[in-house]
Structure 1
Amino acid sequence: MYTQKMHPATTFPDINVTLSTGESVSLSSKEEGCDWKMVVVFRGKHCPICTKYLNKLEDFKGRLREINTDLVAISGDSKQQLDKHLDDLSITFPIACGLSQSDMKTLGLYISEPRSDKETDHNFSEPALFVLNENNEIHIAEIANAPFVRPDLEQLVSGLEFIRNPDNNYPIRGTFKE
C-alpha cells in the first residue's frame, strides 16, 4: 500500500506551512471567532483547474465565516511559485506553500510526479479537502487522485451549513469499524 488515508473522527496532524505573507502557521490553527477549519489542498501553480477552483472558493468565504469555519489553501509549491500564482488568483483567504512530500504522505494524499519540467519542478499532491471540527477532528475528507475530482462548492457549503446547525445533530460519517 503506497498511501494511508486519514480517517474521519481522527485528529488532524499538526503540520506547519508558510502563508503567502511569509508567516509560518499550523494548518489546523483557526482564526479568532472560528471553531472549525476547511483545509483545501491544491496541486499548485501549474494547474489551471486549481486556479479556477480557488477563485470560485472566494465566493463562499463569507458563508463559511457565517458558520464560524476558517479557510486555508495549501500546495507543495515553493514560495516563489506561490508568489507567481497570486497574479492569477482573486482571493482574500489565506493561501500557503511548502507542503512537504512527507506531510503529503501523512495526510494520505495521492502524489504525482510532474509530466515534464514545464509542468513543475517537484512532486505534488493531487487535490484534497478536509473540514476540521472544534476538536481538530476530521469531520469531512475528500481525497482525489486527479485534478478533475473536487467537491461542488455550493453543495459542500450547503452541507456544512446543515451540519453546523445544532438542531440537526449531524454526526461525523464514515466511522464504522469492525
Structure 2
Amino acid sequence: MYTQKMHPATTFPDVSATLSTGETVSLTNKEEGCDWKMVAVYRGKHCPICTKFLNKLEDYKGRLRELNIDLVAVSGDSKAQLDEHLDDLSITFPIAYGLSQEDMEKLGLYISKPRSDKETDHNFAEPALFVVNEKNDIHIAEIANAPFVRPDLEQLVSGLEFIRNPDNNYPIRGTFKG
C-alpha cells in the first residue's frame, strides 16, 4: 500500500484518539499556555524501540514546555495494550490509544501488518513525529517506515529552540513546489 504524504505548511488533519485517562481528544488540542503541539506516533507496546524512545522523550518534556510546545504520543493499540505498556513507560506526558487505520492513512503514515500474533493483533503505524504550529499547520514532519528511524531528540529540541526564537525568523522548510 502506498500512502499519501502530508506536506509541510498544510493543515494537520483533525484526528482523535483516546487518552490513557479515557478522555477522547483531538491530537491538535493544546494544553493551556501552549500554542504548538508535538505528536509522536509510535508502533505500540510490542515495540521495545518505541518504549525506549517514549521514555527518552520524557527527558525533553520540560524544554518543550518552555517553548510552549505541548506533547502527546499515540498508537493504534487497544486500551488493554496501552494499560499493559504503561508498566514499561516512565512518562508524564499524555499518551493515547485507538488510532484507527483510516486515521493512520489520513496522516500519511506507513502501516505494517503484524509478523505474528505474538507481535500484535492489528495493523499498526510505523513511527512518525509531527510538530504543529499555532495555525495547526505542519511545521516539521518525520515519517518512517521502520522502527529504527527516529529523530535525534537533542537535535530536534535544539532546532525547535532555534525555530521558536523570533529573532531567527525561521520559516517552514520543504515547501518548494517548483
Assess same fold via TM > 0.5: yes
The equivalent residue for 2:37 is: 37
Q: Determine the structure 2 residue equivalent to 1:131.
A: 131
- 1:148 paired residue number: 148
- The CA distance in 1 between the partners of 2:166 and 2:98, in whole Å, is 36
Runs of 4+ in 1 over 2 A off after TM superposition: none
Match of 2:30, as an amino acid? K
Alignment-derived partner of residue 72 in structure 2:
72
Residue type of the alignment partner of 2:100: S
Q: Deviations over 1:37-59 (max 9, x none)?
A: 00000000000000000000000
User: Aligned partners of 1:88, 1:161: CA distance in 2, in Å?
Assistant: 30
Q: How far, CA to CA, are the matches of 1:98 and 1:168 in structure 2?
A: 38
User: Equivalents in 2 of 1:6, 1:28: separation in Å?
Assistant: 15
Task: State the secondary structure of the residue aligned to 2:167.
Answer: helix
What residue number does 1:92 align with? 92
Counterparts of 2:47 and 2:135 in 1: how far apart (Å)? 32
**C-alpha distance after superposition, 1:52-100 (max 9, x if no partner):** 0000000000000000000000000001100000000000000000000
Deviation of the 1:2 alpha carbon: 1.6
1:53 — aligned with what?
53
TM-score (norm 1): 0.99
**Percent of matched pairs sharing the same residue:** 86
Q: Name the structure 2 match of 1:20.
A: 20
Work out the CA distance in 2 between the residues paired with 1:61 and 1:71: 7
Q: Deviations over 1:94-149 (max 9, x none)?
A: 00000000000000000000000000000000000000000000000000000000
Q: Give the C-alpha shift of residue 13 in structure 1.
A: 0.5
SS at match of 1:25: strand
Secondary structure of the residue aligned to 2:103 is helix
The CA distance in 1 between the partners of 2:46 and 2:152, in whole Å, is 21
Q: Distance in 1 between matches of 2:146 and 2:2?
A: 16
Q: TM-score, normalised by structure 2?
A: 0.99
SS of equivalent residue, structure 1 residue 161: helix
Gaps of 5+ in 2: none
Aligned residues, how many? 178
Structure 2: distance between partners of 1:146 and 1:126 = 6
Rounded Cα–Cα distance in structure 1 between residues aligned with 2:160 and 2:111: 27
Name the Cα RMSD after superposition. Answer: 0.6
**Cα distance in 2 for residues equivalent to 1:49 and 1:157:** 20
Partner Cα separation in structure 1 for residue 21 and residue 154 of structure 2: 28
